[in-house]
């Protein structure tokens, strides 16, 4: 197991990529601190980990709130003595052009998707440095590299995550901390299913299948597949990878 005696912090850990990542870390021996605003679902994930013999702690968190994110790092140190890995996965999907997106939606999207990543790093990095180093994976999106119509705030937030991750890698290499961003395509998460319901309420499954057909592999990803990329980037096998935007999109962006 790759993460025995390691402590991993995962935000957005109640559902989707974050939940799959937390479960994967625990299966590889890590002590996992799960953070999310959804306490009930968070408790379910912790119960899953514990039922499988793993070690986990839940911290109810709104990642846009400084004091709440600070509490994640404090809880990790109090319970497990430090932080070795951080996967910042909390995020929301919003739709609209620059003109049609209202200011509250813009602010909320950037607060959760970008500020939440900043705050998680701000409070976890000092603990990683004290412990001799670590690894960070910030979940971005291919929409931070490319885009489509009517995702102005979301695309901006994910582009910010990718750029911020590069600066983290530069600023903290001397602390033996690596930082990379993970850029998925479409992933079968509650967020994607909400989008499918929005765009095709009569047949949301059909919408997901249509989106899957846009990928060279002919399907959307499963959260567990993204979790394995995140764990690789946090592992010693990725010891010379930092500042990279890792595209794991099933071939969505390779077409001309």
Residues assigned a catalytic role: 154
Q: How far is CA 171 from CA 155, 161, 168, in A?
A: 24, 15, 5
The packing angle between helices 152-172 and 103-110, to 10°, is 30
**Helix %, strand %, coil % for the chain, to 5?**
50, 15, 30
What tokens does 162 get? 């990718």
Q: How far is CA 239 from CA 173, 180, 189, 235, in A?
A: 12, 11, 29, 7
- Strands 245-248 and 55-60, sheet pairing: unpaired
The secondary structure element, H or E, covering residue 11 is strand 7-11
What tokens does 171 get? 């600023």
Query: Contact at 8 Å (CB) between 68 and 61?
Result: yes
- Which strands, in side-by-side order, build the sheet including 31-36? 55-60, 31-36, 7-11, 85-88, 134-139, 177-184, 245-248
User: Which residues are registered as beta bridge partners of 53?
Assistant: none
């Amino acid at each position: 197991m790759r993460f025995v005696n390691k402590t991993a912090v995962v935000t957005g850990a109640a559902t989707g990529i974050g939940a799959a990542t937390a479960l994967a870390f625990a299966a590889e021996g890590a002590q996992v601190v799960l953070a999310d605003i959804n306490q009930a679902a968070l408790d379910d994930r912790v119960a899953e980990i514990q039922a499988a013999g793993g070690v986990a702690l839940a911290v109810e968190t709104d990642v846009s709130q400084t004091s709440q994110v600070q509490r994640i790092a404090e809880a990790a140190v109090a319970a497990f003595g430090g932080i070795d890995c951080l996967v910042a996965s909390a995020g929301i999907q919003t739709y609209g052009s620059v003109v049609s997106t209202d200011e509250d939606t813009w602010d909320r999207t950037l607060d959760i998707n970008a500020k939440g990543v900043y705050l998680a790093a701000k409070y976890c990095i000092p603990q990683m440095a004290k412990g001799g180093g670590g690894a960070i994976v910030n979940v971005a999106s291919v929409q931070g590299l490319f885009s489509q119509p009517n995702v102005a705030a979301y695309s901006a937030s994910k582009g910010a995550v990718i750029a911020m991750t590069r600066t983290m890698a530069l600023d903290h290499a001397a602390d033996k901390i690596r930082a990379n961003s993970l850029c998925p395509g479409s992933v079968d998460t509650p967020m994607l299913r909400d989008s499918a319901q929005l765009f095709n309420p009569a047949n949301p499954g059909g919408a997901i299948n249509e989106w899957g057909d846009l990928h060279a592999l002919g399907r959307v990803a499963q959260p567990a597949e993204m979790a394995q990329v995140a764990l690789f980037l946090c592992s010693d096998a990725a010891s010379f990878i930092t500042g990279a935007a890792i595209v794991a999109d099933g071939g969505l962006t390779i077409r001309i």
